[in-house]
Amino acid sequence: METLILTGWGWSDYACAAALALRHFGKADIRGVSTRRLPELLNEISGYKTILILGVGLTGNPELLQKGVEKLRAKGCNIRWISALPFPENLPDPLRILLNPFIDEDGVTAAVSNCFGIPYDDLLPLVREENATSELRQFRQLLEAAMYFYRNYQEEKPYSDAIRHIAQCDPESKWSDSERQMLEHYKRFGNRELAGKSHAMQELLHKINLAAPHDHARVLIFGESGTGKETVALQIHNKSPRRNEPYITFNCACVASHLLESRFFGHEKGAFTGATERKRGLFELADGGTLFLDEIGELPLEAQGILLRVLEGGRIIRLGGSEEIEVNVRLIAATNRDLAAMVHDGKFREDLFLRLNVIQILVPPLRERKCDIEQIANGYWLKQHKHRLTPEQVEVLKTYDYPGNVRELFNLLERASVLDEQDFSRLLAEHKQMTASLAPAAAAELPDELDAATRLHVRHVYEKYNNNLSRAAAALKIARNTVRKYLEEA
């Protein structure tokens, strides 16, 4: 290709601007790029006669930006920056001349339209994200799915493919099977994302990326309620070689213990009263893919033995049947309980715990990564209202510890959205009043006697780490047995 179109992420205006430019040039490569990444990319690419930069900010590394632009221009490449924002005043005039900016305050698509003299009436509802036809609503959903795949699975191609469909007004019948599968995946899981740029979140994503390709290794996910444990499991599945195979979820606390064997392994017709037909169990349904068992700590002891049997042998027998069926399933389990402590107390089988606990992943609570609240909250607010929260609203949200974690934050934002509440201080005050019993109790005053103060401190750290004996011992830098001794004496 002789032409490269670089456009921003996240807004329909960017995608429509790129689609309009594609109509003008006929053929071009298309890439989404962030402001931070733009200077690096301009220093890496070559071989194009024309490069359009549509709506991407110029606030990245200015020296690297100028170096890349000068190198491309020296090779005869014509570059043009088209934007709805004025050219940054801090950039030198020579760079302004090299980038040949075209500005239109009405938006990036309007700027492309006026720059090249081409209409965009058919795209206007999609640009404004209002009063769209059913066809344009499908394009919007395709764009949202493509950006979801980029954010969560680092796949860039679906975004450029979606822009090509918009440029050509392709009906859904011309979309590929993979695009339709992507759309279905987004409809099912699009409300589940791991958002945030904190060190804790980057560590979590790094561990997910390491664990995911090893698709036979079992994973045990720890974390408080509402932190996003199922989202972590979904990420592991979709970044693994099993991503195109089944992903089955099951909450271990939602079925009576006497029905669990049938749910896990299935049953034959006539196996028990009411078994009017053969039914496949969870392991058969997940064969080749991933089975996610949530709240594994709630699994009754008798059912734990049933689960252990299939983990050891990789074979099942339907209830009422005699034939062994081999299954190939990656098992991911999650809990908000301290399973090691439950093993010590005889409430969880040690052999099952050891089978499950191959890779440990801890999902941090929201109170330990409050810097992520802005991204999480704005992501929700943009979907609902097409604009971000004010800085003042974000700062109010950061003042609360969220014992219910991300789920509680979303509930709070939904309440504000439904009630059209703009005063987040009042919103949060009412919320705290309604959920006061969820907040941690005020810390007791430390006693003067050293041993009593030590016991109280150990209890505090143990509760801080969600009653996880191993994590509390690591934080206190003492042995697990010592922690246990102080807890028993407290």
Residue 370 lies in a domain: no
pLDDT in tens, 208-222: 999 999 999 999 999
pLDDT in tens, 96-135: 999 999 999 999 999 999 999 999 998 988 888 766 677 7
Same domain, 217 and 162: no
Sequence-distant (≥ 6) Cβ neighbours of residue 86 within 8 angstroms: 103
Same domain, 429 and 455: no
In CATH, what number is assigned to the domain containing residue 240?
3.40.50.300
pLDDT in tens, 320-359: 888 889 999 999 999 999 999 999 999 999 999 999 999 9
Amino acid code (one letter) for 472: A
Same domain, 105 and 160: yes
Contacts 24+ apart (CB under 8 A), 346-349: 347/301, 348/297, 348/301, 348/304, 349/301, 349/304, 349/305, 349/308
What 3-state class would DSSP assign to 30?
Answer: strand
Same domain, 315 and 423: no
Average pLDDT, the chain: 90
pLDDT in tens, 219-254: 999 999 999 999 999 999 999 999 989 999 999 988
Mean pLDDT, rounded, for 136-154: 90
**According to the model, what pLDDT value does residue 446 have?**
67
Mean pLDDT, rounded, for 76-88: 94
Mean pLDDT, rounded, for 390-406: 94
Same domain, 44 and 172: yes
From residue 318, how far is each of 241, 253, 273, 280, 399 by CA, in Å?
28, 22, 15, 8, 52
Q: How many CB atoms lie within 10 A of CB 69?
A: 23
- What's the structural domain count of the chain? 4
Rounded-to-integer distance, Cα 388 and Cα 381, Å: 6
Same domain, 397 and 461: no
Same domain, 254 and 133: no
Same domain, 10 and 96: yes
Same domain, 159 and 269: no
What b/e string do you get for 372-394 counting C-beta neighbours within 10 Å, with b at 16 or more? bbbebbbbbbeeeeeeebeeebb
Same domain, 26 and 173: yes
pLDDT in tens, 417-443: 999 999 999 999 999 888 877 665 544
Mean pLDDT, rounded, for 158-182: 93
Q: Which two tokens stand for residue 279?
A: 């039914």
Same domain, 219 and 250: yes
Same domain, 77 and 22: yes
**According to the model, what pLDDT value does residue 439 have?**
60
pTM over 0.75: yes
Residue 367 lies in a domain: no
DSSP string, 60-128: S-HHHHHHHHHHHHHTT-EEEEEESSPPPTTS-HHHHHHH--EE-TT-HHHHHHHHHT---GGGHHHHH
Residue 369 lies in a domain: no
Residues 386, 392, 397, 398, CA torsion sign: positive
Residue 357 lies in a domain: yes
DSSP state at residue 257: G
Mean pLDDT, rounded, for 29-55: 94
- Do 344 and 467 form a contact (C-beta atoms < 8 A)? no
Residue 209 lies in a domain: yes
Residue 263 has pLDDT above 60, yes or no: yes
**According to the model, what pLDDT value does residue 438 have?**
63
Mean pLDDT, rounded, for 147-156: 90
Q: Degrees (nearest 5) of the Cα angle 435, 436, 442?
A: 145
Half-sphere exposure in the Cβ direction for 418 (13 Å, CA): 6
Residue 399 has pLDDT above 90, yes or no: yes
- Do 264 and 310 form a contact (C-beta atoms < 8 A)? yes
In CATH, what number is assigned to the domain containing residue 156?
3.40.50
Which band of pLDDT confidence, cut at 50, 70 and 90, is reported for residue 444? low
pLDDT in tens, 284-318: 999 999 999 999 999 988 889 889 989 988 999 98
CB-neighbour burial class of residue 119 (10 A; exposed 0-12, middle 13-18, buried 19+): exposed
Residue 7 lies in a domain: yes
Place of tokens 């689609």: 19
Residues 83, 84, 88, 89, CA torsion sign: positive
Residue 454 lies in a domain: yes
Sequence-distant (≥ 6) Cβ neighbours of residue 343 within 8 angstroms: 349, 350, 353
Q: Which two tokens stand for residue 27?
A: 């053929």
Q: E-strand spans in 307-424?
A: 315-317, 324-326, 330-335, 359-362
Residue 67 lies in a domain: yes
Rounded-to-integer distance, Cα 11 and Cα 140, Å: 10
Q: Which domain holds residue 274?
A: 199-362
Which band of pLDDT confidence, cut at 50, 70 and 90, is reported for residue 10? confident
Mean pLDDT, rounded, for 167-176: 92
